Amino acid sequence: MMTALLHIEKLVAGYGEARVLSHIDLTVEAGRSLALLGRNGAGKTTLVDTIAGVTTHHAGAIHFDGCDIARLRPEQRAPHGIGWVPQERNIFPSLTVEENLTATARPGPWSLERAYQMFPRLKERRRNMGNQLSGGEQQMLAVARALMLNPKLLLLDEPLEGLAPIIVDELLAALRRIVRDEGMSAIIIEQKARKILPLTDEAVVLDRGAVSYQGTSQALLDDPERLEGLLSVS
């Protein structure tokens, strides 16, 4: 029997008085990955930001690993096991790659050596400052740094956005290993649905702050007309 790692019920959240999410119900099982899809402005980033704790919570429940985290501040959520990679990446520009990785590390199976095995480019650049890295290398660093927290759930907000095709392929291969081989629970936002659906178990599509589709990633891949209708993609 699967165990619910994250269970969200009737969630209403947004920024200040503005309510972006409307009565969201969502469950992520331990060891399962979720593709979070939707058109621009659908509320995807708001949902991930709400799980991370940086939005205004208006109503509803957020249970993570058996704890009610809805009222916890972001820095109180990370120790519960939430690793968050926002669109801005938020790496430390004036620290080296290695210092970035070790600054917030927590004990667990993800060590510095393991992070370097996953992202060999980072090992090559370990003495470089964060601001000396390319955009793709910064994204790899942001993902590796989240792994060094040894989280139970990884939140990734458009990890492939704006990256060169060769870096996209490298990052996708790493993400496949992280969620498929390592069994890391993850929620991944991605505009290019067909790139991320093959990696994930489940898919949720948001539309105007509400869930418009919930099912397996494979079912959406097998139904291109439905996928196009939900996302308006060619």
Tell me whether residue 163 is in a domain: yes
Task: Return the DSSP state at 152.
Answer: S
DSSP codes of every residue in 170-214: HHHHHHHIIIIIS--EEEEE-S-HHHHGGG-SEEEEEETTEEEEE
Q: What are the pLDDT digits (tens) for 183-193?
A: 999 999 999 99
Q: What are the pLDDT digits (tens) for 47-94?
A: 999 999 999 999 999 999 999 999 999 999 989 999 999 999 999 999
Residue 233 pLDDT:
45
Tell me whether residue 198 is in a domain: yes
Tell me whether residue 103 is in a domain: no
Tell me whether residue 27 is in a domain: yes
Residue with tokens 């992520």: 28
Identify the CATH number of the domain in which residue 25 sits: 3.40.50.300
User: 178 is in which domain, residue-wise?
Assistant: 4-88+153-231
Q: How many CB atoms neighbour CB 63 within 10 A?
A: 16
- The percentage of the chain sitting over the pLDDT mark of 90, rounded to a whole number, equals 96
Give me the number of domains the chain comprises: 1
DSSP codes of every residue in 32-46: -EEEEEESTTSSHHH
Tell me whether residue 159 is in a domain: yes
Which pTM was predicted? 0.95
Tell me whether residue 65 is in a domain: yes
Mean pLDDT confidence for 181-202:
95
